[in-house]
Amino acid sequence: MTVTVLFSARPALWPVYEPLLTKGLTKAGLEFRLGTEFDPDQVDYVVYAPNGGLLDFTPYTRLKAVLSLWAGVESIADNETLTVPLARMVDHGLTQGMTEWVVGHVLRYHLGMDRHITVQDGIWTPDAPPLAPERQVCVLGLGALGEACARALASLGFDVTGWSRTAKDIPGITCLHGEDGQRAALSRSEIVVLLLPDTPATEHILNAETLDLLPKGACIINPGRGPLIDDDALLAALNKGQIGHATLDVFRVEPLPADHPYWAHPNVTVTPHIASETRPTTAAQVICENVRRGEADEPFLHLVDRSLGY
């Protein structure tokens, strides 16, 4: 039987993904039709990104699964017209990119690189930083990306605490969960990395109260989702010195408006949503494997729990 795969994403991505998906589906031994336009009642799988414009899945009566090109699925997880399995993107290229970015910025804070790069006052101050085991780092969110970053930091010797909404057990990481666990994790952490999904339960997880739990002068790194942080509370904490510095890669509105206070704040580093992105080569492999699994009646990879939103 011929499988019909609809590519619904930003049109500029089609020339990139078409040969990769063709190669992967062929390698999987499938007979298939792959394209950007089909009658909805003929489609078996949708390769999906929110910028493709597809909102109503009701006409897709033969649909078996929606396979997201994005790790974040908050824009589709609550779509009431979507009644088939939804898989989010988890691929080793995206994970590698995120791990490199997070480790780089943790080391930047740990080693005090900003101070040594920007301060050229002719004063010789040989104040070496502590070693990694003396630096306490917290990773909020222990999904695929959070776990990978926590493991990489622990492998460098950092004292890593990971927090998640549900219990996790990761060798080498102090894993905490629940409200009490969150307070304990934050209260001991000099560097906090946010890698949680954007859900009603995680919005403003860093707010005036939780920011005050951190040791004075702590640093924030957010490559996760913009709504995880109460922006007004973070700016207030920065202004009073409770938070020493923040490196932010994601925002509620992107691109970040030119008049946003983050741009001009001396203790904020803005990066333009570059911590990690889907790599077409590896992402196409994940998509093709899930189509193969669907046709072989095997469980899909990386299914979203629609009740949790991730």
* CA-closest candidate to residue 220, choices 270, 155, 276, 157: 270
Contact 133, 159 (CB under 8 A): yes
The tally of CA atoms less than 13 A away on the side-chain side of residue 133 is 1
* β pairing state of 159-164 and 268-270: unpaired
Per-residue pLDDT reduced to its tens digit, 56-76: 999 999 999 999 999 889 889
Indicate whether this model's pTM tops 0.85. Answer: yes
Residue recorded with tokens 């899930």: 290
Helix (H, G, I), strand (E, B) or coil at 33: strand
Per-residue pLDDT reduced to its tens digit, 198-212: 999 999 999 999 999
**Six token digits for residue 259:** 């008049």
Mean pLDDT of the chain, nearest integer = 95
Averaged over 39-43, what is the pLDDT? Answer: 98
Per-residue pLDDT reduced to its tens digit, 264-294: 999 999 999 999 888 899 999 999 999 999 9
The tally of CA atoms less than 13 A away on the side-chain side of residue 257 is 5
Given CATH 3.40.50.300, say whether it is the number of domain 92-270. no
Q: How far apart are CA 212 and CA 87, in angstroms?
A: 37
Q: Where in the chain are all domains bearing CATH 3.40.50.720?
A: 3-91+278-295, 92-270
Per-residue pLDDT reduced to its tens digit, 168-218: 999 999 999 999 999 999 999 999 999 999 999 999 999 999 999 999 999
Termini Cα distance of the chain: 32
Is 225 one of the catalytic residues?
yes
Residue 120 has pLDDT above 70, yes or no: no
Catalytically annotated residue among 273, 292, 293, 306: 273
Confidence of residue 130 (pLDDT cuts 50, 70, 90): very high
Residue 119 has pLDDT above 70, yes or no: no
Strand positions, DSSP E, 45-177: 45-48, 65-68, 86-87, 136-140, 159-164, 174-177
Catalytically annotated residue among 105, 108, 165, 225: 225
Residue recorded with tokens 């007979």: 31
Identify the CATH class of 3-91+278-295. Answer: alpha beta
Is 105 one of the catalytic residues?
no
Residue recorded with tokens 């904490």: 237
* CA-closest candidate to residue 275, choices 257, 294, 248, 302: 248
| H or E element, residue 283 | helix 280-295
